[in-house]
Structure 1
């Protein structure tokens, strides 16, 4: 598919068919996320892939059974694949402590970073997955883990220094149940793209 068509096609899908995805299709969709930009080539992004058999702890942690009856997007729970996007801040500190980056002053600790580039890199990996899913004809939805980060880290046996930035649900969209969330119109391009200065 032409890239501009992929960009136009991409949207958040919140209801999925439960049909499983083949391992080769999952690998195809995730491959671009492993080729994205990385600050200093720190390569601090990890993708934790959960098929249906591995999702029980995820949903029990982030959406306990007693809350599911009121959940606005029940079709989200049918996604055959969840991809938890994790980032390692220490990988960035270690990389910028190396000789060729030491002059930056970012190799002391995470507090030295005015902009935490691990979150930027994680966001770029998410965007790559969303575009790749659209290109493959799949539905996808990114959502945060919010206040469930620590218990989810424990449930998935993720080391404590790793940050979980969110989850991408993947699968075939269920058009009978999928509906858009409440949203405002996209801003005019002139209000988003500014040349030379803010105004």
Structure 2
């Protein structure tokens, strides 16, 4: 598929067919994510791949999705056979930039007006989303509720120095992937690019 077509077709898919996703395809997604740009070549990210029914169910349970609670969004998202959780490590960046070639030995977060651990892991997440499209799959990036981050960490043994930037469901798209129950579809804005001056 041409790159322009991948970009054009990328959208958040919230309901999936029951077919499993080939593990080799999931491996390509995370391999592509690791090619994302990252400050100082820190690579301060990690990717938790949940691709068994037990792990997927534990994800939903640990992030507060009560199995008896039904709504269109949650019911659809729980049909995904794979969840990838991109995690960012602030510590990795502070340590990397204290090395001799950078020299910020004070490890101060004040040197980071933009926290690139979040930015870089976000870019890696986009590569997962784009790879899903290129592989003919659907995917959706969404947030883990803040009040459930610690139960998520405990459920999967995530170290304290890694924080989830969100989660990505992956699966085969249904023929009808309309967003029933969602607000009316918004149009893409065309007033966000400014040349020379705002």
Whole-angstrom CA distance in 2 between matches of 1:107 and 1:128: 33
Higher share of residues assigned helix: 1
Gaps of 5+ in 1: none
Asked whether the equivalents of residues 81 and 169 of structure 1 are also in contact (C-alpha less than 8 Å), the reply is yes
Shift of 1:95: 0.5
Q: 1:15 to 1:187 in 2, by over 3 A?
A: same
Give the aligned partner of residue 125 of structure 2: 126
Q: Give the count of matched residue pairs.
A: 193
Whole-angstrom CA distance in 2 between matches of 1:24 and 1:157: 24
Matched, 1:114 2:113: yes
Whole-angstrom CA distance in 1 between matches of 2:106 and 2:116: 13
TM superposition score normalised by structure 2:
0.90
Alignment of 1:43-122 (within 5 A): 43-51=43-51, 52-62=53-63, 63-66=65-68, 68-70=69-71, 72-102=73-103, 105=104, 108-122=107-121
Asked whether the equivalents of residues 16 and 178 of structure 1 are also in contact (C-alpha less than 8 Å), the reply is no
Give the aligned partner of residue 158 of structure 1: 158
- Deviation string for 1:78-118 (max 9, x for gaps)? 1010000101111000100011111xx48514354221100
RMSD: 1.8
Give the aligned partner of residue 137 of structure 1: 136
TM superposition score normalised by structure 1:
0.90
